Amino acid sequence: MFRYILVEATGRETDMPVFRTALTLARIHAAHIAFLHVQPDVRKLAIPVGSAEYGAGAGVAEFIAWLEQEALTRHDKAKEAVQDFCVRQAITMSTTPLDASPSAEWRVEHGEEAHWVAVHGRVADLTLLGCVREHGRVSMDVVDAALMETGRPILILPALPPAQIGQTVAIAWKDTAEASSAIAAALPLLRMAQQVIILSVVEDTRTDAAACERLRHALAWHNRATTVQCLTASGGEPADILLKAAAEFGADLLVMGGYGHSRMREVVLGGFTRRVLQAAELPVLMAR
């Protein structure tokens, strides 16, 4: 079960859909929501930019003061949004476990956003992040850190998350350890789903169909309503074919492994993963 859910509170309007999805899960699992706000180290960020734009002297100091005020304003907005949300939804603010109802707490860190999301994500059952598209609220650096540096699952939401989550679950299946980890992380939701659909974009139909059948056979002990759909690439982008199929089946959640590689100490998500995250119209649960 997801009993400790990490949610980033940024102070932006796009926070609210993430808050609502977190509450939906918290009500199902009687979970605790840790709202995390990361205040940037504006002096560390501002000096290179300010020096280039304003030159040395008073201009840099004014620029830093402006950034500090912006960071304080964002902090206050985020805290007020969390407090108002918890009051309206009757969520108890608590730092100790409650028995059978959702609870929440407000946490603040100072420094690099990706670093602190990863640090707190390592002790969370699930981390929720907002939209990663252009004009979205979450940078790929944060997604990379949350996925690659925590060892825990993350749930990435589209700009307009569905009213319900986990009724029809699609699995993007590849016979890999990453995909297996994602399925293990998603088991609390898979068990409760009305329907589970294993999707595989295949090139060698016989081999991939056999892998899908092995998974279906195993998942049937968790949810009997599990089926397999092998998809033909037919010249299209595999990520687009997968997302189209998930939409056609009415899925409200996609489960997939996170694929990437390390280069110059920076984790870079693979092209398939990035395409899914940037184009998905449904929540995506990932692990690796």
What's the pLDDT at 273? 83
Q: Tokens 């199929």 correspond to what residue? A: 245
What's the pLDDT at 263? 43
For the whole prediction, is pTM greater than 0.95?
A: no
The rounded distance, in Å, linking the Cα atoms of 158 and 229 is: 24
- pLDDT digits over 249-277, tens only? 999 999 999 876 544 334 446 678 888 88
What's the pLDDT at 124? 98
Cα–Cα distances in Å, from 160 out to 143, 156, 224? 18, 11, 30
Beta-carbon neighbour count of residue 256 at 10 Å?
A: 28
Question: Is the pLDDT at 54 greater than 90, yes or no?
Answer: no
Domains and CATH numbers, the chain: 4-156 (3.40.50.620), 168-287 (3.40.50.620)
Which tokens go with 41? 């180290």
Residue 204's pLDDT band (boundaries 50, 70, 90)?
low
State the chain's mean pLDDT as an integer. Answer: 87
- pLDDT digits over 8-27, tens only? 999 988 899 999 999 999 99
- pLDDT digits over 217-253, tens only? 999 999 999 999 988 877 778 899 999 999 999 999 9
The rounded distance, in Å, linking the Cα atoms of 37 and 17 is: 16
